[in-house]
Structure 1
Amino acid sequence: MAENNNILEKLDGLEARYEEVSTLITDPSVIADQQRYVKLTKEYKDLEDIMKLRQKYINCLNGIAEAKDILMNEQDADMKEMAREELATNEELQPKLEEEIKIALVPKDPEDAKNVQMEVRAGTGGDEACLFAGEIFMMYKKFCESKGWAVSVTSESEGAVGGFKEICFAVSGDNVYGTLKYESGVHRVQRVPVTESNGRMQTSAATVAVLPEADPFEVNINEGEIKWDTFRSSGAGGQNVNKVESGVRARYMWKNPNTGEVEEILIECTETRDQPKNKERALARLRTYIY
């Protein structure tokens, strides 16, 4: 019972903060401060989920107490049987709710809720590495679709026999970075590739980068210093391809605070046939890279 009280004390303490935040996000002065407003709305959503768990937990404890009271004081056999069923159900539910609450109370990485920019690049292995990179991309694409997340390819470079030398794509949805962040690194495969005529085993590799997408207020960019180029898209796409310069390329000189050196960042985006949209998405990738 002491543990129950301890959990409820923590939840009761958070209820006051939940009420405070729910009031703050309706304050015009807070709404005007976008950085603070975004931070508070994220906190509100997290607290709202915990408050829902709190109510379920209180209902569960009340159900246990009421069932025990009926079993002790009620004479009617049918009422007692219903109380036994209610007691068994809630006693089974209680530890599950306590575990959910404990997990919900663990401090979250503030980055976890962010959307991501991902890059998959073929490594060692030639054409086979490109095929492997293509399979990795398709794996992530299907996984994201199963989670209900949106995937949009921002740029790609196809391999000679299929797959990709490099493919960049954005993923948006709920808790995307928290789920995908551990995918960063080198992935490798050992198999007899379709490109191998003698049946020899080959090791191929591909690299995956997962970057949390930066919010506009988190990165300071002087947009006037970005040099924009446009170019014609390539690949399948009907009459628009190679006739309309919808692809964009952004060049930005940035001083790396870690090394003190000035670097040129080059970002390309050919995602849509709409040049302004491609510019907007290239800018999002630029912010993410710097962030």
Structure 2
Amino acid sequence: MLDKVVLDKLATVEQRSEELELQMADPEVAGEYSRLEGVIKEHSSLRHIVALFREYRGTIDELEDARTLIREESDRQMAALAREEIEELEGRQGEIEHDLRVALIPKDPNDQKGVIVEVRAGTGGEEAGLFAAEMYRMYTRFAQRHSWGVEVISSTETGLGSIREIIFQIDGNGAYSRLKHESGTHRVQRVPVTESSGRIHTSATTVAVLPEAEEIDVQIDPDDLEIDVFLAGGHGGQSVQKNSTAIRITHKPSGMVVQCQDERSQLKNKEKAMAVLRSRLLAQEVERQQAEISQDRKSQVGTGDRSGRVRTYNFPQDRVTDHRVGYTRHNLEAVLDGEIDDILHRLVEAEQARNLENFGA
């Protein structure tokens, strides 16, 4: 049974939902598009909780009716049917109570955003660079499976099929809520192609997932920026090489440096670099706020050393293990082809369990 504190919260949510419904029907509100959009968005966010709450009240009423029937009914057959109904209703009551507690947990305000993902080769030399390229492909294939757009912001290649660093954007509603737990060190164990003795090597790749920040999320003073323009290098073609299109932006208060040279347009490179800077500053602020809540919270990426791992990809045993939730699955080829929904689902469930515990459920 839900306690009075939770019931009072639910009643407040329902009242707010009804107020928003009245506002949506108000011609004055309907005449202001931005205001109406905000009202519709807030009402939509409450709809699921209100529906559950009303179902919960209906279930409680049905339970009371069934219990009253047992107390008053002399017919044994009718009483037996009522007991079966009570058992079914009590089971449903428990499910709704759990769903309501989860729904009331304060949501991460960044959950519905797209993401900027940074993948870097860690320890392990060329093998780490090769795995970084495979990780990039894994996230790209995952995004494609969800019909999300992917755009490379910057990349540094070190050899044939090897990547030292790649930064890319995934544009999809709710991408951050699904991918934010990917941040950390990913370890790979396999026999490199160049290893003649068949010895298994261990290398690591680091991943950082940042919520995509808009200008309204992060205010940046232009006077705090130092912008340098230089010739693009690497795989850009001769037309890129001839013009100064690459951009390096230094955010003086934080010391953050971002550069982009993948586009042939100086303006587009600046836009991409600013997008990364905003996302890094937003992530820094989120990190600061969370650190105030939990002083022992570890950094998002860690050192890139083999020991600081969140997940291990073991090729000889065709196995991937996420060490945070103790989940292991096989068919590594499918995982690297973007079939990671089952892993992400367990990480989201673990997050909900922690939040429920903190919520006092």
Residue type at the aligned position of 1:209 = A
Alignment of 1:98-177 (within 5 A): 98-146=97-145, 149-177=148-176
Instruction: Output the CA distance in 1 between the equivalents of 2:234 and 2:113.
Output: 29
CA contact (8 A) 2:232 2:261 kept: no
Indicate how the Cα distance of structure 1 residues 41 and 255 shifts in structure 2: closer, same or farther if over 3 A, else same: farther
Instruction: Output the CA distance in 2 between the equivalents of 1:255 and 1:23.
Output: 48
Indicate how the Cα distance of structure 1 residues 218 and 247 shifts in structure 2: closer, same or farther if over 3 A, else same: farther
Residue type at the aligned position of 2:11 = D
Task: Give the alignment partner of residue 265 of structure 1, picking from 242, 248, 258.
Answer: 258
Instruction: Output the CA distance in 2 between the equivalents of 1:247 and 1:198.
Output: 48
Residue 146 of structure 1, CA deviation: 4.9
Instruction: Output the CA distance in 2 between the equivalents of 1:152 and 1:218.
Output: 21
Residue 132 of structure 1, CA deviation: 1.3
In structure 1, the partner of 2:285 is: none
Residue 96 of structure 1, CA deviation: 1.0
Instruction: Output the CA distance in 2 between the equivalents of 1:249 and 1:51.
Output: 51
Identity percentage of aligned residues: 39
**Could you say which structure has the greater relative contact order, defined with CA pairs below 8 angstroms and 6 or more residues apart?**
2
For structure 1, the residue ranges without an aligned partner over 5 or more in a row are 236-240
Instruction: Output the CA distance in 1 between the equivalents of 2:269 and 2:250.
Output: 20
Instruction: For residue 166 of structure 1, give the secondary structure of its aligned residue in structure 2.
Output: strand
Residue type at the aligned position of 1:95 = G
In structure 2, the partner of 1:254 is: 251
CA contact (8 A) 1:115 1:213 kept: yes
Instruction: Output the CA distance in 1 between the equivalents of 2:6 and 2:129.
Output: 52
Instruction: For residue 113 of structure 2, give the secondary structure of its aligned residue in structure 1.
Output: coil
CA contact (8 A) 1:130 1:163 kept: yes
Instruction: Output the CA distance in 2 between the equivalents of 1:90 and 1:276.
Output: 61
- What is the TM-score normalised by the length of structure 2? 0.60
CA contact (8 A) 2:258 2:273 kept: no
- The answer to whether the aligner puts 1:285 opposite 2:284 as a matched pair is no
CA contact (8 A) 1:127 1:161 kept: no
Residue 82 of structure 1, CA deviation: 7.0
CA contact (8 A) 2:52 2:100 kept: yes
After superposition, the C-alpha distances for 1:106-163 in whole angstroms (9 at most, x for unaligned) are 2233233332111101122222111111222233334444555443333333342324
Residue 201 of structure 1, CA deviation: 2.8
After superposition, the C-alpha distances for 1:17-39 in whole angstroms (9 at most, x for unaligned) are 3344566784777937xxxx87x
Alignment of 1:1-291 (within 5 A): 3=2, 7-20=6-19, 26=29, 31=34, 43-68=42-67, 86-146=85-145, 149-221=148-220, 234=235, 249-257=246-254, 264-270=257-263, 280-291=271-282
CA contact (8 A) 1:154 1:170 kept: yes
After superposition, the C-alpha distances for 1:234-254 in whole angstroms (9 at most, x for unaligned) are 48xxxxx76689996433342
- What is the TM-score normalised by the length of structure 1? 0.71
CA contact (8 A) 2:246 2:266 kept: no
